[in-house]
């Protein structure tokens, strides 16, 4: 539905909800003048030249940048903008005007919050978030606009009681929603020990005008992933309406300012449902509704926002969903743990024949966790047998890695690492709710079937907690790992006949094309060549398509006829050529979800890499956020490129530019993350085991002036390489 | 408005009647007053109670604030929601008219308290200049404390020199033109409030300037923006707070810091055998002298056959004298005429504020002499004795002589004094409360209070204040709310005519603790008493902090609690209630309390219902911005539950914030 259509449906209402509109108008007056008072006082205190902005963002004041294209950096610049917004507030009570009031209120709230940041008011402490920086937008924003996250709920006010708040949020979390919270509902959830915060995709923003941080989050998605230029107001609104499946739940008594802000939500295409009983003249059909029944409020909101769930219910006693992916379980909270070097453990997905499997069966061999005391450590084998007519041995590893994600979806279940290094914890809370190890099996079984219906026909899961049986299983598992590694090693760009495309991100970056090869993982880090191949099997018309390699145009830089041809079509005729092995000449484009970014450092004749996790400054003078702003959105930007972290370990890591030896700076965290394999690759490349220590990091410095002497002192090879430029 | 646990508790008042039994002229619950009315029921004497009935029904336009009389083209009234009748002649809509009217009320309130403060400053100034030989610095301790807060040098300086500097700062607060905050206000509040006031541009730079400014801002054809007008009003309310603080502090310096004192209240304190003089109004400058003079003039009284001179207080002058001198409190504002009805009141000496012009009309039926003393307060028919600080004692003696002379003209047939009177304990200045707490925790005295709240022994602190308003029966709401709060373990401090009500009914006594306090509150009192054997009396159910300028003592307690809890005032479990608000001063006080981040219950509707926008700001949005909001509720029992709800909201939220901070090892969240 386009914005125009929304306007139509909304204005079609036979009776104007005058009472609601009057309330919204009153709230708008309050918000506009309040912003004006704060702004002019701040100008008096700081002067119009005062620099303003939110932390950790390249998008200035996102609401303003998005809607009007103005990139605010100074306090004084806000005056004409606020005046423009004051001026569009007209007193006649019409639906048309109400949306403009809403827009004005969004501006006012953005300005008020900007001033709060300038003043250092109410610094946020965990779990309150305030403004959400770009790293978080990039981390979760893609899932929001590609609908991995089925919807976004903005909840404000206070529920009828704390258990009711918990119930709503649990329900939304188990459906995988992204949640923004404002006002007392936050305290209610904290009271009920509901897990909220950045780690759970449930953001407690703050109070009152801080709800704007849900809005500026959403608007940044259009800029970052939609590739929509700043100031393209209608296009941004259309993007919000189409891609951001958000709704607002207003709990507790209404007030003028909230109602006015909710007109802002409707302006963006997000309907509002409240638990307050409202008369007819306080409701807008399909857009502003009353539903006092807590059982019905979420289904109603989903219905009017058009959110449909494909998720299945899984019969386990804990909550389940991506909200819990970031949850950590500390030792003190652990009921039982497995693996992690403390006990023997392994996990294995194995393809079997049709006769070797009982579909849907979950077997536990050894003690169940209700029979062991708190604090126990048990061995663990997770053995998943899969039969599928289209299943291939190459997919085993792909599916096996899903164990990590699926297990972490469970509330109170924590999983890290893989294969025989895997480490699992189950929390006391989960145990108290009745969670058993067999439920882990149920969970994995259900998710594998749900996510991979095309290749998975039958699944059986065996969970082994008996030491002898685990050891037996481990022998088999290691054989499989070995065979798989041998196969992986044989998979090189040269050895395969097909590359794969990935257009997954075109839903939000319409011209971006990823080309995934065995030696170059997708820039999001999540799609390897095998993943892409499996995905193609699962959805033959999906985002991953084979590109028969054919003859090369330039093997050194990595250009093929076939890839160019594919690129041209898939990029909507905007890009003609791409080189896979260099970032200096027609490099691959970046969508917005890259794990890391490479950028040249001409003074050092090398490259630096920074990651989404690293929020600090870098030697190229830009933070990750700013860099992301310059090279995202599906453009070719020579000298800059988004990559997956593990691409650094590839033998095809920018070979045309000199490969690994070019790296002069990367964050410490990335060094540690890759260390072992990186050292091995350095040795293989003849750079020596200590090469990693010749690379500067933030402890050396974040400016060229700081790092160049370090590189020289440590004999970094960059200076001896051919000139990059 | 914060959303409270009780879902029925919304920003709107209950539908209780706005005027209870509008035709009933017996509009009081005060036993002394009831007795008095009974005694004179045959005599057809008109009192305030008759006039309330005569005024019914009152004008709805005025009641809801939509009557604009600011210019001569008016009065204009908002009659409809849409069209030309929804606006005044100039086009001012309901929100402009309502906000202008209420802002002007605040300005009047601020002007009143500040006029009072100015008079005290003048007295201090005269003392410094050597023109007020009857006055002295009774509390050098207070002088040094306020000097320290204001940054006035004290080392090796004479007290009068220090006082001179302080007076200059006080004067500067009245008339400063630079963009600097009121010094007295600035030194009273938390860092958080200081920033809030600055950032929202409501920190006043001068008292007079702010009052003038809001009058100019709300003149015909100036500000039409309700939010801007309200912020101007809030600025004026902060001037009121600053002015009150000058008044209260300087009164302590000149007349001493109140200490626990036992006295009596209600009409029974009028003694038929003595020359009775009522001091009525607000200002202690003259009345303190009257008390001193009375003590010196016993012999003169005996000459006319009386046993002596009996000074009794009415309204806040009564409170001032009760607090410092233990002077009996005859009655409170709405029942001021009752003192004359006894036929045994020989003179009523009045200063400023809350004095019914009717006292003179009524005095005409008796021998009682009404004497006005201030140049801006005169009543036709009443004697006027221009009071001068330079001749204070002489002036006071003249007043007493007038009373002594009148004593001889009493008509014995008209003497009818109710027997009703109650013992009370008053005199709980902030210093006294601190000393009492310090016996338990000398380093952090106020933690005794905050710990009791955090442990659940107490539910919080309620500061019950304000006037009488006869839309309901006199004192009924004061008493009902008090009973409910103390039953639920809320520590109550009080002042103004609310304190008058408690004193008259016997609630300001230790006996009331046994009868009305909840178990938590009782045990809290026991702990305090056990640690304070030096007190000559047990503690009363409510702590009387003084007159209406002394409400700053309540603010001092609030600020101390905030600092102790490590949060700003909006998170402190502290509520204010003005169950029977009447005066414009009450509008100013309520506004500064909201601005200070406190939920403020008002039991009589201010004229804001005519604009949903203004109503919404006062009851809801104010909380979002300042952390305080008005709770408008006319039914006292419902009001009490709302106040308890507001306290619960704060302890609940603070508890969760503290628990969360502990869990995450962070500072306590500062949001409210």
β pairing state of B309-314 and B275-281? parallel
Q: What is the pLDDT of residue A521?
A: 86
Query: Which residue does chain A place closest to B93, by CA atoms?
Result: A91
What is the Cα–Cα distance from A347 to A462, expressed in whole angstroms? 10
Does residue B489 sit in helix, strand or coil? coil
Evaluate if residue A538 carries a pLDDT over 80: no
DSSP letter for A311, please: P
Evaluate if residue B573 carries a pLDDT over 90: yes
- B33 pLDDT tier (thresholds 50, 70, 90): very high
What ipTM is given for this predicted complex?
0.95
CA dihedral B488, B489, B491, B496 (to 10 degrees): 30
CB within 8 Å: B200 and A255: no
Smallest Cβ–Cβ distance between B227 and the set A34, A124, A157 belongs to A34
- Whether residue B57 is preceded by a cis peptide bond, meaning omega within 30 degrees of 0, is yes
**What value does the mean pLDDT take over residues B251-275?**
98
Closest CA to A239 of A230, A253, A249, A226: A226
Residue B613: list chain A partners with CB under 8 A.
Answer: 26, 29-30, 256
Backbone angles phi, psi at A384, to 5 degrees: -115, 115
Neighbours of A14 (CB within 10 A): 5
Give residue-wise pLDDT tens across range B368-417.
999 999 999 999 999 999 999 999 999 999 999 999 999 999 999 999 99
- A632 pLDDT tier (thresholds 50, 70, 90): confident
What is the Cα–Cα distance from B373 to B288, expressed in whole angstroms? 14
Neighbours of B229 (CB within 10 A): 26
Evaluate if residue A430 carries a pLDDT over 70: yes
Q: Which residue has the higher pLDDT, A288 or A310?
A: A288
Smallest Cβ–Cβ distance between A160 and the set B7, B198, B226 belongs to B7
**What value does the mean pLDDT take over residues B506-526?**
97
Which two tokens mark A111?
């300005």
**What value does the mean pLDDT take over residues A116-126?**
88
Evaluate if residue A8 carries a pLDDT over 90: no
Does residue B28 sit in helix, strand or coil? strand
Neighbours of B530 (CB within 10 A): 10
DSSP string, B81-103: SSSGGGB-TT--BHHHHHHHHHH
In the block, residue with structure tokens 């594998």: A448
* Cβ B274 vs Cβ B301: under 8 Å: yes
* Cβ A133 vs Cβ A57: under 8 Å: yes
Q: What is the pLDDT of residue A6?
A: 53
Evaluate if residue A1 carries a pLDDT over 60: no
Smallest Cβ–Cβ distance between A29 and the set B11, B201, B613 belongs to B613
How large is the greatest C-alpha to C-alpha distance in chain B, in angstroms? 78
CA atoms within 13 A on the CB side of B101: 25
CA atoms within 13 A on the CB side of A266: 32
Q: What percent of chain B has pLDDT over 70?
A: 100
CB within 8 Å: A119 and B613: no
What sign results for the dihedral spanned by CA atoms A231, A233, A239, A245? positive
Q: Which residue has the higher pLDDT, A613 or B393?
A: B393
Return mean pLDDT, chain B.
97
Q: What is the pLDDT of residue A450?
A: 83
Smallest Cβ–Cβ distance between B617 and the set A30, A42, A127 belongs to A30
**What value does the mean pLDDT take over residues B510-515?**
96
Which two tokens mark B403?
């009373």
Residue B198: list chain A partners with CB under 8 A.
Answer: 41, 45
Give residue-wise pLDDT tens across range B479-505.
999 999 999 999 999 999 999 999 999
Give the minimum alpha-carbon distance from A35 to chain B in angstroms, rounded to a whole number: 10
* Cβ A192 vs Cβ A162: under 8 Å: yes
Which of B191, B660, B662, B672 to substitute to test the interface with A, most A CBs within 10 Å? B660
Closest CA to B603 of B440, B436, B472, B506: B472
**What value does the mean pLDDT take over residues B459-475?**
97
What is the Cα–Cα distance from B403 to B308, expressed in whole angstroms? 11
Query: Which residue does chain B place closest to A92, by CA atoms?
Result: B82
Burial of B105 from C-beta contacts in 10 A (0-12 / 13-18 / 19+): buried
In the block, residue with structure tokens 């206000």: B185
Q: Which residue has the higher pLDDT, A398 or B133?
A: B133
What is the Cα–Cα distance from B144 to B132, expressed in whole angstroms? 21
Cβ-Cβ contacts under 8 Å for B621 (sequence gap 6 or more):
A30, A255, A256, A257
Residue A185: list chain B partners with CB under 8 A.
Answer: none
Q: Which residue has the higher pLDDT, A328 or B9?
A: B9
Q: What is the pLDDT of residue B62?
A: 96
- How many beta-carbon pairs below 8 A join chains A and B? 106
* Cβ A502 vs Cβ A544: under 8 Å: yes
Q: What is the pLDDT of residue A48?
A: 97
CB within 8 Å: A33 and B228: yes
**What value does the mean pLDDT take over residues B534-554?**
96
Smallest Cβ–Cβ distance between A158 and the set B3, B669, B672 belongs to B3
Q: Which of B6-10, B511-515, B659-663 has the lowest mean pLDDT?
A: B6-10
What is the Cα–Cα distance from A615 to A612, expressed in whole angstroms? 7
For chain B, how are helix, strand and coil distributed in percent, rounded to 5?
50, 10, 35
Q: What is the pLDDT of residue A507?
A: 59
Q: What is the pLDDT of residue B439?
A: 97
Give residue-wise pLDDT tens across range B181-234.
999 999 999 999 999 999 999 999 999 999 999 999 999 999 999 999 999 999
CA dihedral A256, A258, A260, A261 (to 10 degrees): 160
Residue A34: list chain B partners with CB under 8 A.
Answer: 227, 625
* Cβ B132 vs Cβ B112: under 8 Å: no
- Residues forming beta bridges with residue B464, ordered by sequence position: B494, B577
- A402 pLDDT tier (thresholds 50, 70, 90): confident
What is the Cα–Cα distance from B247 to A370, expressed in whole angstroms? 71
Q: Sheet holding A514-516: strands in order across?
A: A514-516, A498-502, A546-548
Q: Which residues of chain B are at the A interface, by a Cβ-Cβ cutoff of 8 Å? A: 1-3, 5, 7, 10-11, 95, 195, 198-201, 225-228, 231, 612-613, 616-617, 620-621, 624-625, 652-653, 656-657, 659-661, 664, 666-672
Cβ-Cβ contacts under 8 Å for A597 (sequence gap 6 or more):
A590, A609, A610, A611, A624, A627, A628, A631, A640, A641, A642, A643
Give residue-wise pLDDT tens across range A303-332.
999 888 766 678 899 888 777 877 888 889
* Cβ B105 vs Cβ B161: under 8 Å: no
**What value does the mean pLDDT take over residues B156-161?**
96
- B159 pLDDT tier (thresholds 50, 70, 90): very high
Which two tokens mark A443?
């969970």
Smallest Cβ–Cβ distance between B621 and the set A38, A124, A257 belongs to A257
Residue B11: list chain A partners with CB under 8 A.
Answer: 253, 255
Residue B205: list chain A partners with CB under 8 A.
Answer: none
Evaluate if residue A9 carries a pLDDT over 70: no
Q: What is the pLDDT of residue B665?
A: 93
Q: Which residues of chain A are at the B interface, by a Cβ-Cβ cutoff of 8 Å? A: 22-23, 26-27, 29-30, 33-34, 37-38, 40-42, 45, 115, 119, 121-128, 157-158, 160-161, 183-184, 187, 190-191, 206-209, 251-253, 255-257
Q: Which residue has the higher pLDDT, A502 or B365?
A: B365
Note the helical H segments in A559-623: 561-570
Backbone angles phi, psi at A433, to 5 degrees: -85, 0
Cβ-Cβ contacts under 8 Å for B87 (sequence gap 6 or more):
B76, B78, B93
Give residue-wise pLDDT tens across range B51-99.
999 999 999 999 999 999 999 999 999 999 889 999 999 999 999 999 9
Evaluate if residue A11 carries a pLDDT over 80: no
Evaluate if residue B133 carries a pLDDT over 90: yes
Q: How many residues does chain A have?
A: 725
CB within 8 Å: A41 and B656: no
Give the minimum alpha-carbon distance from B450 to chain A in angstroms, rounded to a whole number: 21
What is the Cα–Cα distance from A154 to A57, expressed in whole angstroms? 22
Residue B231: list chain A partners with CB under 8 A.
Answer: 37
Q: What percent of chain A has pLDDT over 70?
A: 97
- Residues forming beta bridges with residue B279, ordered by sequence position: B313, B349
Q: How many residues does chain B have?
A: 672
Which of A117, A126, A186 to substitute to test the interface with B, most B CBs within 10 Å? A126
Return mean pLDDT, chain A.
90
Q: What percent of chain B has pLDDT over 90?
A: 98
**What value does the mean pLDDT take over residues A207-233?**
89
Which of A42, A165, A253 to substitute to test the interface with B, most B CBs within 10 Å? A253
Give residue-wise pLDDT tens across range A54-87.
998 888 999 999 999 999 999 999 999 999 999 9
Query: Which residue does chain B place closest to A205, by CA atoms?
Result: B671
Rounded to the nearest angstrom, the gap between the alpha carbon of residue A606 and the centroid of all alpha carbons in its chain is 30
Smallest Cβ–Cβ distance between A191 and the set B620, B656, B661 belongs to B656
Evaluate if residue A238 carries a pLDDT over 80: yes
**Alpha-carbon distances of A504 from A508, A511, A612, B495, rounded to whole Å:** 9, 11, 20, 70
Rounded to the nearest angstrom, the gap between the alpha carbon of residue B648 and the centroid of all alpha carbons in its chain is 25
Query: Which residue does chain A place closest to B626, by CA atoms?
Result: A208
CB within 8 Å: B199 and A158: no
Residue B227: list chain A partners with CB under 8 A.
Answer: 29-30, 33-34, 37
Measure CA of the first residue to CA of the last residue in chain B; give whole Å: 11
Evaluate if residue A236 carries a pLDDT over 60: yes
Evaluate if residue A546 carries a pLDDT over 80: yes
What is the Cα–Cα distance from A563 to A569, expressed in whole angstroms? 10
Query: Which residue does chain B place closest to A250, by CA atoms?
Result: B3
Give the minimum alpha-carbon distance from A271 to chain B in angstroms, rounded to a whole number: 22
Closest CA to B471 of B617, B634, B354: B634
Residue A187: list chain B partners with CB under 8 A.
Answer: 652-653, 656-657
CB within 8 Å: B657 and A187: yes
Neighbours of A19 (CB within 10 A): 17
What is the Cα–Cα distance from B194 to A706, expressed in whole angstroms? 43
Cβ-Cβ contacts under 8 Å for A586 (sequence gap 6 or more):
A559, A577, A578, A579, A636, A638
CA dihedral A165, A168, A169, A172 (to 10 degrees): -170
């Amino acid at each position: 539905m386009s914005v125009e259509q929304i306007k139509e449906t909304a204005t079609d209402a036979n009776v104007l909800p005058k009472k609601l509109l009057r309330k919204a108008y009153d709230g708008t007056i309050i918000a506009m003048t309040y912003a004006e008072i704060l702004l002019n006082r701040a100008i008096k205190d700081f002067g119009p030249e005062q620099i303003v902005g939110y932390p950790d963002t390249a998008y200035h004041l996102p609401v303003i940048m998005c809607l009007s294209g103005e990139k605010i950096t100074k306090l004084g610049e806000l005056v004409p903008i606020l005046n423009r917004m004051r001026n569009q507030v007209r007193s006649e009570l019409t639906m048309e005007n109400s949306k403009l009031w809403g827009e004005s209120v969004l501006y006012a709230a953005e300005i008020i919050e900007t001033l709060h940041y300038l003043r250092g008011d109410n610094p946020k402490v965990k779990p309150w978030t305030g403004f959400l920086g770009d790293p978080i937008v990039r981390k979760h924003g893609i899932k929001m606009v590609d609908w991995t996250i089925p919807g976004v709920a903005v909840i404000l006010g206070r529920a009828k009681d704390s258990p009711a708040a918990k119930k709503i949020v649990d329900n939304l979390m188990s459906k995988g929603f992204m949640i923004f919270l404002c006002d007392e509902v936050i305290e209610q959830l904290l009271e009920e020990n509901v897990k909220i915060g950045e780690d759970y995709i449930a953001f407690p923003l703050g109070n009152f005008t801080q709800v704007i941080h849900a809005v500026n989050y959403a608007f940044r998605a259009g800029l970052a992933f939609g590739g929509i230029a700043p100031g393209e107001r209608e296009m941004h609104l259309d993007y919000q309406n189409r891609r951001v499946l958000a709704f607002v739940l207003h709990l507790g008594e209404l007030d003028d300012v909230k109602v006015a802000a909710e007109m802002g939500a409707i302006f963006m295409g997000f309907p509002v449902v409240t638990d307050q009983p409202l008369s007819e003249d306080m409701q807008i059909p399909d857009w502003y509704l009353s539903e006092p029944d807590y059982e019905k409020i979420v289904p109603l909101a989903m219905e009017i926002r058009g959110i449909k769930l494909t998720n299945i219910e899984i019969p386990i006693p804990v909550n389940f969903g991506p909200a819990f992916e970031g949850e950590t379980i500390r030792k003190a909270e652990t009921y039982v743990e497995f693996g992690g070097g403390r006990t023997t453990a392994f996990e294995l997905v194995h393809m079997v024949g049709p006769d070797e499997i009982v579909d849907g069966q979950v077997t536990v061999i050894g003690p169940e966790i209700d029979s062991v005391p708190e604090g126990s450590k048990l061995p663990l084998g997770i053995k998943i047998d899969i039969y599928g007519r289209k299943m291939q041995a190459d997919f085993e590893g792909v599916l096996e890695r899903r164990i990590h994600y699926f297990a972490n979806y469970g509330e109170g279940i924590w999983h890290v690492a893989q294969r025989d290094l895997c480490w699992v914890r189950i929390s006391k809370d989960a145990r108290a709710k009745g969670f058993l190890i067999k439920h882990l099996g149920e969970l994995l079984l259900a998710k594998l079937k749900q996510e991979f219906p095309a290749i998975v026909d039958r699944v059986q899961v065996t969970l082994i907690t008996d030491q002898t049986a685990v050891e037996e299983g481990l022998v088999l598992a290691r054989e499989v790992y070995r065979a798989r590694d041998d196969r992986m090693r044989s998979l090189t760009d040269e050895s395969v006949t097909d590359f794969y495309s990935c257009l997954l991100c075109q839903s939000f970056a319409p011209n971006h094309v990823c080309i995934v090869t065995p030696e170059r993982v997708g820039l999001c880090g999540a799609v390897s060549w095998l993943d892409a191949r499996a995905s193609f099997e699962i959805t033959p018309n999906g985002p991953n398509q084979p590109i028969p390699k054919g003859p090369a145009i330039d093997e050194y830089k990595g250009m093929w006829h076939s890839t160019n041809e594919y690129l041209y079509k898939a990029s909507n005729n905007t890009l003609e050529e791409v080189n896979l092995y260099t970032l200096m000449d027609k490099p691959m484009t970046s969508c917005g979800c890259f794990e890391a970014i490479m950028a040249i450092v001409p003074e050092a004749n090398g490259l630096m890499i920074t990651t989404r996790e690293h929020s600090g400054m870098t030697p190229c003078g830009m933070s990750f956020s700013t860099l992301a702003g310059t090279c995202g959105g599906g453009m070719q930007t020579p000298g800059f490129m988004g990559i997956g972290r593990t691409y650094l370990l590839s033998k095809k890591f920018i070979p045309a530019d000199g490969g690994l030896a070019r790296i002069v700076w990367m964050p410490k965290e990335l060094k540690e993350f890759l260390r072992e394999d990186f050292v091995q690759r350095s040795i293989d490349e003849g750079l020596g085991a200590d090469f990693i220590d010749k690379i500067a990091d933030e402890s050396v410095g974040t400016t060229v002036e700081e790092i160049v002497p370090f590189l020289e002192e440590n004999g970094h090879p960059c200076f001896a390489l051919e000139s990059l430029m | 408005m914060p959303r409270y646990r009780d879902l029925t508790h919304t920003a709107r008042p209950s539908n209780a009647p706005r005027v209870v039994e509008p035709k009933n002229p017996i509009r009081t619950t005060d036993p002394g007053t009831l007795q008095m009315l009974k005694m004179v029921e045959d005599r057809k004497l008109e009192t305030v109670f008759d006039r309330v009935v005569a005024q019914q029904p009152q004008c709805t336009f005025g009641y809801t604030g939509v009557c604009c009389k600011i210019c001569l083209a008016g009065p204009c009234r908002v009659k409809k929601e849409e069209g030309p009748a929804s606006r005044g002649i100039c086009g001012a809509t309901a929100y402009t008219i309502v906000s202008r009217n209420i802002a002007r009320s605040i300005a009047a309130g601020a002007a009143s308290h500040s006029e009072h403060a100015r008079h005290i400053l003048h007295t201090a100034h005269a003392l410094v200049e050597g023109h007020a030989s009857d006055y002295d610095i009774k509390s050098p301790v207070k002088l040094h404390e306020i000097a320290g807060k204001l940054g006035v040098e004290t080392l090796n300086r004479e007290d009068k020199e220090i006082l001179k500097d302080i007076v200059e700062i006080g004067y500067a607060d009245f008339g400063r033109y630079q963009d600097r905050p009121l010094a007295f206000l600035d030194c009273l509040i938390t860092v958080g409030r200081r920033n809030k006031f600055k950032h929202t541009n409501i920190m006043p730079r001068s008292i007079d300037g702010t009052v003038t400014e809001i009058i100019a801002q709300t003149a015909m054809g100036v500000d039409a923006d309700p939010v801007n007008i309200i912020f101007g009003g809030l600025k004026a309310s902060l001037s009121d707070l600053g002015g009150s603080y000058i008044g209260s502090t300087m009164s302590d310096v000149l007349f001493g810091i109140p200490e626990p004192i036992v006295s009596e209240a209600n009409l029974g304190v009028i003694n038929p055998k003595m020359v009775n003089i009522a001091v009525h109004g607000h200002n202690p400058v003259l009345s303190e002298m009257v008390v001193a003079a009375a003590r010196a003039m016993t012999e003169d009284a005996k000459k006319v056959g009386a046993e002596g001179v009996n000074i009794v207080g009415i309204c806040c002058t009564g409170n001032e004298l009760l607090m410092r001198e233990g002077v009996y409190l005859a009655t409170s504002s709405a029942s001021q005429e009752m003192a004359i009805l006894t036929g045994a009141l020989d003179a009523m000496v009045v200063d400023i504020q809350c004095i019914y012009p009717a006292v003179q009309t009524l005095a005409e039926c008796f021998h009682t002499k009404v004497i006005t003393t201030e140049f801006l307060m005169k009543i036709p028919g009443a004697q006027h004795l221009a009071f001068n600080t330079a001749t204070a004692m002489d002036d006071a003696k003249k007043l007493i002589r007038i009373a002594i002379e009148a004593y001889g003209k009493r008509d014995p047939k008209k003497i009818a004094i109710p027997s009703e009177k109650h013992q009370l304990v008053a005199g709980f200045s902030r210093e006294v409360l601190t000393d009492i707490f310090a016996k338990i925790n000398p380093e952090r005295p106020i933690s005794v209070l905050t710990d009791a709240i955090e442990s659940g022994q107490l539910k919080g602190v309620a500061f019950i204040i304000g006037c009488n308003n006869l839309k309901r029966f006199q004192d009924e709401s004061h008493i009902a709310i008090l009973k409910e709060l103390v039953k639920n373990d809320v520590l109550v401090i009080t002042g103004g005519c609310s304190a008058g009500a408690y004193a008259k009914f016997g609630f300001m006594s230790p006996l009331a603790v046994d009868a009305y306090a909840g178990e938590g509150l009782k045990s809290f009192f026991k702990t305090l008493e056990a640690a304070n054997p030096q007190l000559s009396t047990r503690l009363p159910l409510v702590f009387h902090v003084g007159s209406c300028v002394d409400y700053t003592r309540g603010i001092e307690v609030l600020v101390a609690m905030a600092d102790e809890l490590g949060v700003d005032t909006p998170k402190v479990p502290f509520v204010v209630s003005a169950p029977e608000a009447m005066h414009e001063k009450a509008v100013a006080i309520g506004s500064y309390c909201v601005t200070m981040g406190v939920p403020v219950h008002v039991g009589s509707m201010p004229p804001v219902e005519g604009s949903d926008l203004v109503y919404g700001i006062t009851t809801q949005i104010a909380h979002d911005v300042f952390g305080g909001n008005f709770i408008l509720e006319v039914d006292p029992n419902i009001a009490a539950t709302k106040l308890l709800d507001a306290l619960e909201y704060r302890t609940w939220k603070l508890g969760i914030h503290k628990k969360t901070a502990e869990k995450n090892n962070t500072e306590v969240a500062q949001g409210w």
